[in-house]
Amino acid sequence: QSGNSFHVFDQGQFAKEVLPKYFKHNNMASFVRQLNMYGFRKVVHIEQGGLVKPEKDDTEFQHPYFIRGQEHLLENIKRKVTSVSNIKNEDIKVRQDNVTKLLTDIQVMKGKQETMDSKLLAMK
């Protein structure tokens, strides 16, 4: 009504009839995951309390740039990406150090296990 969201009133019918026309699937959960990747959020009304499932099969989604009559804002709706270039070199170095320490610890544990195995065998 206010023009800042859209409703899917019947998820089953929407998944069966609408999704296959525009996507390679007819899975509502996949559609919602795609919406989330583009910054859309499910609207939860106070009367629903967020925990109570609505009586009708009505799901509402909104995005700050999805507004009726404001088509020029649509270009701002972009898929969220996590880029490798955002990772700092220090973080990569720390992660490499962690991996090296883990591998060393595993080798030490393996040696101790082999020692215990040989002692157990000698005791038998």
Asked if 10 and 54 sit in the same domain, the reply is: yes
pTM more than 0.95: no
Report the alpha-carbon distance of residue 109 to residue 113 in Å, rounded: 6
* Strands of 59-62's sheet in order across: 5-8, 59-62, 41-42
Report the alpha-carbon distance of residue 108 to residue 76 in Å, rounded: 53
User: Model confidence over 22-32: pLDDT tens digits?
Assistant: 999 999 999 99
Asked if 26 and 71 sit in the same domain, the reply is: yes
Alpha helices in 4-88, H assignment, sequence order: 11-13, 19-22, 28-37
Task: Please give the structure tokens belonging to residue 82.
Answer: 């996590």
Provide the residue range defining the domain that includes 41: 5-76
Predicted pLDDT at 107: 92
> Is residue 51 pLDDT above 60, yes or no?
no
Asked if 60 and 86 sit in the same domain, the reply is: no
Task: Please give the structure tokens belonging to residue 11.
Answer: 């998820």
User: Model confidence over 53-88: pLDDT tens digits?
Assistant: 555 678 899 999 999 999 999 999 999 876 666 666
Percent of the chain residues topping a pLDDT of 70? 82
